[in-house]
Amino acid sequence: MKIVLVGYMGSGKTTVGKELSKYLGFRFLDLDAYIEEKTGMKIPAIFKEKGELFFRKLEHQYLSEVLEKNSDIILSTGGGTPCYSGNMEVISRLTKNVFYLRVSIPELVKRLTKEKEYRPLIAHIEEADLPEFFGKHLFERSPFYSLAAHTIPSDGTPQDIALKIKSLLR
């Protein structure tokens, strides 16, 4: 079984993926961590030194590699993964267990204010401008996230979200 988590930055893909792996005993993989391991570079450094387009090419290449090479995994994607290079089609071809973690804007602000330095797309945004930025960006990205087979309201605890996902697996 291959389980894929998608959603905006801060929706908890990495956190919930690890939690779910405890409940299911499947291997947890994070696409950003995989890219960092393969390139020997951190995500912010890839964006800064090589640019976003280069990152998107790596993301597309490694998404296919990870999904084709492994089974019984939980894969947490990056927030932009579904929105480029036909990646949702790549994912949907290989599994029905695709979950969109949907989080409200106030909750995203709460979670990401302290962590924005590690996320190159928001590192330069003033704290006061985050709600407006997230609103617009999420509006643009939602059509891609909504291609997931399941949408999971995800303002709650990682444990509750993981258990909800577990109950929907097939």
Ligand X SMILES: Nc1ncnc2c1ncn2[C@@H]1O[C@H](COP(=O)(O)OP(=O)(O)O)[C@@H](O)[C@H]1O
Ligand Y SMILES: O=C(O)C1=C[C@@H](OP(=O)(O)O)[C@@H](O)[C@H](O)C1
CB 110 within 8 A of CB 161: no
Q: Give the integer Cα–Cα distance in Å for 10 and 52.
A: 19
Find the angle CA(64)-CA(21)-CA(96) to the nearest 5 degrees: 45
> Binding site annotation covers 13?
yes
Binding mask 122-141 for ligand X (x = CB under 6 A): --------------------
* Dihedral angle sign, alpha carbons of residues 41, 78, 20, 66: negative
CB 29 within 8 A of CB 74: yes
* Chain contacts with ligand Y (rule: CB under 6 A): 9, 13-14, 32, 43, 78-80, 119-121
Closest residue to bound ligand X by CB: 12
Residue 43's binding partner, choosing from ligand Y, Mg ion, ligand X, none, with beta-carbon cut-off 5 to 8 A by kind? ligand Y
Q: Which of 2, 4, 12, 134 binds ligand X (CB under 6 A)?
A: 12
In the Cβ-directed half-sphere of 128, how many Cα atoms lie within 13 Å?
0
Stretch 12-71 residues interacting with Mg ion (CB under 5 A):
13-14
For ligand Y, the closer CB: 120 or 158: 120
For ligand X, the closer CB: 108 or 170: 108
Paired strand residues for 150: 99
- Assess 9 for contact with ligand X (CB under 6 A): yes
> Binding site annotation covers 141?
yes
